[in-house]
């Protein structure tokens, strides 16, 4: 690795760590600390459990503060190099300005990839564990893996009508059981079979219905067909674990799980705009680290007579405020279907990437 690359990278590391710590402290001080204090004062929570909740809240915060740290680090590092005439010395040695910002872009890309990894593998597990502990503290018992009055209505892709309609009064994911079950199967978009049972149990990769009746449906009429003590259903009803995912919050899912959840909702005729926006945000928000580095490097290279770190910090806050303001607006519009979900998640990145490329072009060689 070339000496100039190492030198500028070292200049970026310290303000990046400072930025992560500073912005994380702001998030913790304005939201997390109040949430944990409320739990501590209202419920019997030990200090170790409180510490665990605090640590579990950090991964989500870090994903948001990584881009902020990259932005602050790039502005401060290049402002310092520019203010001490080191950029001038580099240029006298034959380095172009565009070559000098390569370390910032490399750092931004690495930070983006790291944030994507945290968002994919650590954040969902931490959020799920946090919700389990919070429910246990608030209600005095573990969060049940049951759903009441559950409806499933996947659509048949060929006919556009329902594939089947399933209703159960109570679903238990742990036991793999359903109570008071009604299943209506369709053929060619029309009702064909109606099954009513006292309960259903997941056994040998199939749902077994017990103690019920089966009706064949013709032209809107129910024709009694048979009474059964056990009947193996051939409809494509998911296994208990897949059904249980419907009761998980979307921020407790990784991208693959969320993608499956969206596909299920869309198969049931729902647009799932909000979930689709969130899916794109799981890439768009981490990728902001690279975009902020691209935008901040030309800003740091602009001559400044005074201000130093304070000016860089203030400029970072303004950029962050604008970025997340646009992101919030895009989130709202995309979740309502006013604009495409991908645009609602990536709109602010597109705007800031365009601005960064324009500024990069204008700084010249």
Contact 320, 95 (CB under 8 A): no
Domain membership flag for residue 255: no
Instruction: Among 235, 259, 284, give the residue marking a domain's end.
Output: 235
Rounded CA-CA distance 109/105 in Å is: 6
Domain membership flag for residue 244: no
307 and 204 in a common domain: no
Residue 342 has pLDDT above 60, yes or no: yes
Domain membership flag for residue 245: no
Q: Round the average pLDDT of the chain to a whole number and report it.
A: 88
213 and 109 in a common domain: no
**DSSP letter assigned to residue 363:** T
Residue 314 has pLDDT above 80, yes or no: yes
Contact 153, 264 (CB under 8 A): no
Instruction: Among 213, 235, 257, give the residue marking a domain's end.
Output: 235
What is the tally of structural domains in the chain?
2
* Six-digit token string for 288: 């902001």
List Cβ<8 Å contacts ≥24 apart for 321-327.
323/288, 323/292, 323/348, 323/352, 324/348, 326/351, 327/285
Residue 1 has pLDDT above 60, yes or no: no
> What mean pLDDT do residues 42-53 have?
89
The residue ranking higher by pLDDT, 166 or 190, is: 166
Instruction: Among 186, 216, 235, give the residue marking a domain's end.
Output: 235
- Here the CATH number for the domain that contains residue 166 is 2.60.450.10
Domain membership flag for residue 30: yes
351 and 322 in a common domain: yes
| Least confident segment among 107-116, 133-142, 344-353 | 133-142
Inter-axis angle of helices 308-335 and 273-301, nearest 10? 160
Q: Rounded to 5 degrees, what angle do the CA atoms 4, 10, 11 make?
A: 90
10 and 125 in a common domain: yes
21 and 129 in a common domain: yes
Alpha helices of 176-272 — where are they, by DSSP H?
Answer: 240-244, 255-267
* Six-digit token string for 71: 């932005």
201 and 89 in a common domain: no
Domain membership flag for residue 159: yes
Domain membership flag for residue 261: no
- Model confidence pLDDT, tens digit, residues 174-219: 889 999 999 998 887 788 889 999 999 999 889 999 999 998 887 6
104 and 56 in a common domain: yes
109 and 50 in a common domain: yes
339 and 311 in a common domain: yes
Contact 153, 269 (CB under 8 A): yes
Contact 255, 230 (CB under 8 A): no
126 and 174 in a common domain: no
Residue 308 has pLDDT above 90, yes or no: no
Domain membership flag for residue 252: no
Q: Characterise 305 by phi-psi region: left (phi > 0), alpha (psi -120 to 50), beta (else).
A: alpha
173 and 132 in a common domain: no
pTM (2 d.p.): 0.81
Question: Which residue range is the domain that position 47 belongs to?
Answer: 3-140+272-362
Domain membership flag for residue 123: yes
Q: Label residue 43 by pLDDT band (50, 70, 90).
A: confident
95 and 166 in a common domain: no
- Model confidence pLDDT, tens digit, residues 232-289: 987 788 888 878 776 678 888 889 888 878 887 887 778 899 999 999 999 999 999 9
């Amino acid at each position: 690795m070339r000496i100039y690359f190492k030198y500028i990278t070292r200049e970026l590391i310290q303000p990046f760590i400072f930025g992560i710590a500073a912005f994380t402290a702001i998030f913790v001080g304005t939201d997390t600390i109040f949430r944990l204090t409320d739990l501590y004062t209202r419920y019997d929570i030990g200090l170790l459990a409180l510490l665990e909740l605090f640590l579990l809240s950090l991964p989500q915060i870090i994903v948001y503060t990584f881009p902020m740290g990259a932005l602050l680090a790039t502005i401060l590092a290049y402002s310092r190099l520019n203010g001490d005439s080191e950029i001038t010395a580099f240029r006298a040695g034959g380095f172009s300005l565009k070559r000098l910002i390569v370390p910032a872009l490399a750092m931004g890309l690495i930070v983006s990839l790291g944030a994507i990894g945290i968002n994919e593998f650590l954040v969902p597990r931490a959020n799920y564990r946090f919700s389990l502990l919070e429910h246990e503290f608030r209600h005095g018992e573990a969060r049940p893996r049951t759903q009441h009055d559950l409806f499933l209505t996947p659509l048949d892709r060929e006919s556009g009508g329902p594939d089947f309609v399933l209703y159960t009064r109570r679903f238990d994911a742990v036991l793999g059981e359903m109570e008071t079950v009604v299943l209506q199967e369709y053929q060619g978009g029309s009702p064909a079979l109606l099954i009513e049972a006292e309960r259903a149990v997941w056994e040998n990769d199939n749902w077994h219905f017990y103690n019920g009746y089966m009706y064949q449906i013709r032209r809107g009429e129910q024709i009694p067909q048979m009474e059964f003590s056990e009947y193996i259903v051939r409809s494509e009803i998911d296994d208990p674990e897949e059904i249980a995912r419907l009761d998980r919050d979307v921020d407790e899912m990784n991208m693959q799980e969320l993608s499956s959840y969206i596909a299920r909702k869309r198969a049931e005729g729902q647009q799932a705009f909000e979930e689709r926006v969130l899916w794109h945000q799981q890439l768009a928000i981490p990728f902001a680290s690279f975009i902020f580095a691209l935008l901040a490097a030309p800003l740091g290279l602009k001559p400044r007579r005074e201000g130093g770190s304070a000016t860089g910090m203030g400029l970072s806050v303004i950029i962050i405020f604008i970025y997340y303001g646009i992101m919030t607006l895009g989130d709202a519009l995309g979740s309502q279907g006013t604009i495409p979900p991908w645009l609602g998640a990536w709109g602010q990145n597109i705007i800031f990437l365009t601005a960064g490329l324009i500024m990069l072009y204008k700084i010249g060689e």
